[in-house]
Amino acid sequence: MLRIGICALGLLIVSSAAAEERSLDLSLNSLALFKNGLACVEYAGEVSEGGTYRIENLPDAVHGTFWVESSTNVTVRITRRSVDLAFSEAFPTDFQQDLAGREVVVRFKEPHLEPVSGKVVGPSGQKPSKHDYESSEYRRRLTVGMAYPGSLTASMLALETAGGLTFFDRSTIAAVEVPGGIQVVSCERPVMLLDVSPEQKKPISIVIWSLTRGVAWAPSYQIDVSDPATLAIRQSAVIKNELAPIRNADIRLISGFPSVHFANVLSPMSPETTWNQFFQQLSQPHRGTDRAVMSQLVAVNATDPEQGIDLSAVPMGEGADLHFESIGRRTLDVGDSLTLQTAAAKADYERIVEWIIPDARLADGRLGGNRDSKSDEDLPWDALRFRNPLGFPMTTAPAMIVADGRFLGQQISQWVNAGEQTTLRVNKALSIRTLSSEHEVEGQRAGYEAYGRMYRKAKVQAEVLANNHRNERVTLVIRKRFSGELISAEGEPKTRLREEGAWSINPRNELIWTVDLAPGEEVRFVCTYTVLAS
């Protein structure tokens, strides 16, 4: 955002160049919001003829995303101009600058000293820039009560009194009175000047488009499973505006991967940046947007590993995989938040208990991690299995599960295409007791050399055990993941190769058992496999 820079109280001296400038108010016509704090904003307006037009308070743009579209040639320049502001809007910087040219009365801390009247002398030399005011040195000086070095004398207040030019130690001053008060402040602040070519039929349209920060949206889901066969899903969005006043602007919510390589680099057109800052931002490693909740990052089929790639998902859309959901025209002041429901639908679902037994081996065959600690992944979870009933993808977001007005749990819902099957965890299934174990089968260990390393081939027997302590039947899905070549497995499980095994010395496998457990029933499966271990 453009912010108030150096303020100087007094009469506004308008240069001949500034006198030819005409103020232009562009309306914030539309916004398309990502979840990571970025937004595509469009300002639009018309001018009756060519000339120079001044625009204030346009947001800063991400590098490479500032564009001007017009029916004629337009040249853009960022500079600084003095503008009149109400005193309440001005940003106080320093007595010597703020009160330059004003008649004031100075009162001192010592009661025996008489008040002194005089005119504040303006500072000499170039005024500090906004970057100076934001520097750590300036903040340090403010903390200790010192003025910025651009003042006449850092710790003094200069007044032109009846006796001449007098300097007062600021530490001795109790108050400074301004007779008549201050209504209007002339402040120097950044502005955008548009030089519009007159070689065009009137009126002349102007559209400014950029990617900026300050307004975003955060989705969430509520999934109601009060009905034992059909769930009701609702999507809501929270929008918070920290950008600029929004007046009846068209707002769309974007779901999909935000491919913005220079998202953390401010355009050199911005008055908020210097070349030094710009090149520092360019030199920073590109981290992308690796946080799934903010970036809509698609975790490939983490929603339901059993399904693999779900080819039954509903084909929809063309071109880039970005979904734009319109919420109509909205009005929001700066600081306002808005929440609304954006979609609702129903779907058939299945309650299951999902138990994933993780693979303990690394890509080179060695055992990794602490195998003795039971992680959340090695515990059974109550889960819901259903297909996305919305007419568009479910984005990565929090999902709260309720039933009959009761809270059951909250988890993260990954990206799910329209019609695609997903499995959403609800809570730990503490009443389903499970146990998994592995041991090496005694026998001869054969040695192998591969990729310049020596390995031994071992035979492993694994056992999984589960017991239903509930007073109802449950569908239990057991996923046993392991590295090696499968020899045999009880219970006729489904088998699949996991894609992460492409660079492993051993193939990465997963056995999937789906069993129906009655109350008090126990199930036990044994499988054997060989593994190359280092």
Structural domains of the chain, ranges and CATH numbers in brackets: 103-181 (no CATH), 431-534 (2.60.40)
Average pLDDT per consecutive 10 residues, the chain (534 residues; last block may be shorter): 34 46 92 94 93 88 94 91 68 67 90 92 57 49 47 73 89 88 74 87 89 96 97 98 95 92 92 89 67 48 47 51 93 96 97 94 76 62 96 94 96 94 95 94 76 84 96 96 95 89 83 96 96 86
3-state SS, residue 11 = coil
Which strand (E) or helix (H) includes residue 104? strand 103-108
CA 491/CA 493 separation, integer angstroms: 6
154 closest CA partner among 165, 163, 142, 162: 142
Half-sphere exposure of 345 (CA within 13 A, CB side): 17
How high is the pLDDT of residue 44? 95
> Which amino acid is it at 5?
G
Partners of 406 in beta bridges:
403
Query: What secondary structure does DSSP assign to 390-446, as a single string?
Result: SSSPBPSEEEEEEETTEEEEEEEE--B-TT-EEEEEEEE-TTEEEEEEEEEPPS--E
How many angstroms from the chain centroid is the CA of residue 214?
Answer: 10
Looking at the DSSP assignment, which residues form a beta bridge with residue 209?
Answer: 42, 67
Q: Is 456 helix (H, G, I), strand (E, B) or coil?
A: strand
Contact 255, 296 (CB under 8 A): yes
pLDDT at 373: 45
- Amino acid 351: pLDDT: 96
CA distance 332 to 217: 13
* 86: helix, strand or coil: strand
- Helix or strand or coil: residue 167? strand
Question: Please, are residues 148 and 142 in contact by the beta-carbon 8 Å criterion?
Answer: no
pLDDT at 93: 57
- What is the pTM for the complete model shown? 0.73
Q: Whole-angstrom Cα distance, residue 118 to residue 322?
A: 64
- For 60, 73, 319, 361, the CA distances from 46, given in Å and listed in that order, are 22, 14, 32, 66
- pLDDT for 123: 64
Residue 437, beta-bridge partner list: 463
DSSP readout, 373-397? S--GGGSEEEEEEEE--SSSPBPSE
